[in-house]
């Protein structure tokens, strides 16, 4: 195993604590035959007593003493990629929790695994302890999927939950998340949606039998969601979640990550804190909902060791649910063709005629307004003007947005949040 951080430590502990149980379930013992890491945490010294330590993980990967390499370093390039290629190239199976690696190089690695007759497993790369990839690859394999979506980033879900419960703004709750260890010092990968996009790319490939395509995903994070948006969402009967969504449309395969307003009664809206949730909709099974911890030492270690169990049992299946040679590219739908309803927040100067000007812009682009909210009066001062629309094309809404930004009475950049029907 390469990497003894949070997840690596969890795997070491699980292999030690459940040694007999795992041997019983696998039909053979699973032995940690070597580790490689920058440092060995003192908390793991007891469990790692007698386990050979290797300075160079790439040499460990091709060692004759191992059957499987577990890569828990992370990153799409560099040492993680080198370990993966060395492992598979040497005819060893590979287990990884590295979503960035699989999102960028998963198809190439799957080809190499097929060529060498070994296994590539990455259950822990999406939604932590939730066995969603196994469910799509095996339990739901008889279905043609129409849509998969969910909350794939616990950091963002924690922040949005905290903003709602404490009535604080994004920056304050982000600072709390960093203090608690739920957010990195540089939170960009999480709060800007890139982590969720990596996971969605993998999920989409398995569900729709298409090569992983990060470039086809529209990505928007949660930095611009404000406390006022959270409050108005509640008043309108919604809750704001960062969703990752893939679905078949008449324009092609739509893949997107962005904040959504969802009905508070839907299952996804009930998922709070650092939890993840994934919903898979199949033509025969209907809607299935999976919820659980999406990160952390124990849940992620559980997923890693589940992959090890499959390999030990001799149970392997194509990493992307179909043989890699059968992955078929699908036409990517443009976000301009997305069809849905919208929430719009304007900060305007409270003077007569502003609403009429705003309504005229919507009418000119043939976007129908469903509701308008404004609380209180403050003549000559700035106030929030909230509108929701009926379903329309994204391209029309973007034209509305551009025209609203030019209005003299609009004093801040308009906020747009898509309303998602689930």
- The residue ranges of every structural domain in the chain are 6-128, 132-294, 339-419
Query: Could you report the per-residue pLDDT of 150-204, keeping only the tens digit for each?
Result: 999 999 999 999 999 999 999 999 999 998 888 888 999 999 999 999 999 999 9
| Residue whose entry in the numeric block shows the structure tokens 């919604």 | 238
Domain 339-419, second-level architecture: 2-Layer Sandwich (3.30)
Any catalytic annotation for residue 42?
no
pLDDT at residue 352 in the model: 87
Task: With a cut of 90, say whether residue 362 has pLDDT above it.
Answer: yes
How high is the pLDDT of residue 294?
Answer: 86
Rg (CA), the chain: 24
* pLDDT at residue 420 is higher than 90: yes
Q: pTM for this structure?
A: 0.93
- Which candidate, 191, 221, 172, 6, places its Cα nearest to that of 97? 6
Q: How confident is the model at residue 379 (pLDDT cuts 50, 70, 90)?
A: confident
Mean pLDDT for the stretch of residues 291-310: 93
Residue 290 confidence (pLDDT): 96
Question: 363 to each of 140, 351, 369, how far by Cα in Å?
Answer: 45, 21, 8
pLDDT of residue 181: 83
Q: Is the pLDDT of residue 147 over 80?
A: yes
Q: Which residues contact 389 (CB under 8 A, 6 or more apart)?
A: 341, 342, 344, 362, 367, 368, 369, 370, 397
287 pLDDT above the threshold of 80: yes
In this predicted structure, what is the pLDDT of residue 364? 96
* Mean per-residue pLDDT over the chain, rounded: 94
Place of tokens 């379930």: 25
Residues 6+ apart with CB under 8 A from 223: 170, 191, 192
| Contact by Cβ (8 Å): 88, 105 | no
- Summarised one tens digit per residue, pLDDT across range 334-347 is 999 999 999 999 99
The dihedrals phi and psi of 210, each to the nearest 5 degrees, come to -125, 150
**CATH of span 6-128:** 3.40.50.720
> For position 376, what pLDDT does the model report?
67
Q: Tell me, what's the pLDDT at 413?
A: 92
242, β-bridge pairs: 259
238 - beta bridge partners? 263
C-alpha distances out from residue 231 to 240, 345, 347, Å = 10, 12, 15
Is-contact 212 251, C-beta < 8 A? no
Residue 274: strand, helix, or coil: coil
216-242 pLDDT, tens digit per residue, is 999 999 999 999 999 999 999 999 999
Please write the tens of the pLDDT for every residue from 39-63.
888 899 889 998 999 989 999 999 9
The pLDDT, as a whole number, for residue 315 is 87
Residue in 179, 199, 298, 413 annotated catalytic: 199
The whole-number pLDDT of residue 304 equals 96
CATH architecture of 132-294: 2-Layer Sandwich (3.30)
Give the closest residue to 16 by CA, choosing from 53, 51, 41: 51
Query: pLDDT band at 374, cuts 50/70/90?
Result: confident
């Amino acid at each position: 195993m390469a990497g003894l951080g949070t997840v690596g430590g969890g795997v070491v502990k699980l292999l030690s604590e459940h040694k007999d149980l795992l041997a019983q379930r696998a039909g053979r013992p699973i032995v940690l035959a070597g580790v490689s890491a920058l440092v060995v945490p003192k908390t793991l010294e007891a469990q790692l007593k007698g386990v050979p330590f290797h300075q160079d993980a790439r040499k460990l990967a091709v060692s004759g003493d191992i059957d499987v390499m577990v890569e828990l370093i992370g990153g799409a390039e560099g040492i993680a990629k080198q370990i993966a290629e060395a492992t598979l190239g040497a005819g060893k199976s590979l287990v990884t929790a590295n979503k960035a690696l699989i999102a960028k190089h998963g198809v190439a690695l799957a080809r190499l695994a097929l060529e060498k007759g070994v296994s590539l497993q990455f259950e822990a790369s999406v939604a932590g302890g939730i066995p969603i990839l196994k469910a799509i690859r095996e339990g739901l394999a008889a279905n043609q999927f129409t849509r998969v979506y969910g909350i794939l980033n616990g950091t963002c879900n924690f922040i949005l939950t905290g903003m709602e419960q404490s009535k604080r703004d994004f920056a304050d709750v982000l600072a709390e998340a960093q203090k608690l260890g739920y957010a990195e010092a540089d939170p960009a990968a999480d709060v800007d949606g890139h982590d969720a996009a990596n996971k969605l790319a993998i999920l989409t490939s398995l569900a729709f039998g298409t090569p992983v395509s990060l470039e086809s995903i529209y990505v928007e994070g949660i930095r611009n969601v404000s406390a006022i948006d959270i409050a108005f969402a509640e008043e309108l009967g919604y809750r704001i979640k960062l969703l990752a969504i893939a679905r078949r449309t008449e324009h092609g395969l739509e893949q997107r990550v962005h904040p959504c307003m969802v009905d508070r009664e839907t299952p996804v809206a009930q998922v709070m804190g650092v939890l993840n949730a994934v919903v898979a909709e199949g033509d025969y099974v209907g809607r299935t909902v999976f919820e659980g911890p999406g990160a952390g030492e124990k849940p992620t270690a559980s997923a890693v060791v589940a992959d090890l169990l499959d390999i030990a049992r001799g149970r392997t299946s194509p990493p992307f649910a179909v043989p890699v040679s059968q992955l078929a590219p699908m036409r990517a739908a443009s976000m301009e063709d997305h069809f849905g309803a919208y929430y719009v927040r304007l900060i305007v100067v409270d003077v007569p005629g502003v609403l009429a000007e705003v309504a005229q812009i919507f009418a000119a682009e043939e976007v129908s307004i469903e509701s308008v909210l404004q609380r209180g009066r403050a003549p000559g001062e700035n106030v929030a003007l909230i509108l929701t629309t009926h379903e329309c094309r994204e391209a029309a809404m973007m034209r509305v947005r551009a025209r609203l930004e030019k209005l003299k009475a609009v004093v801040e950049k308009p906020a747009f949040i898509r309303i998602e029907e689930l």
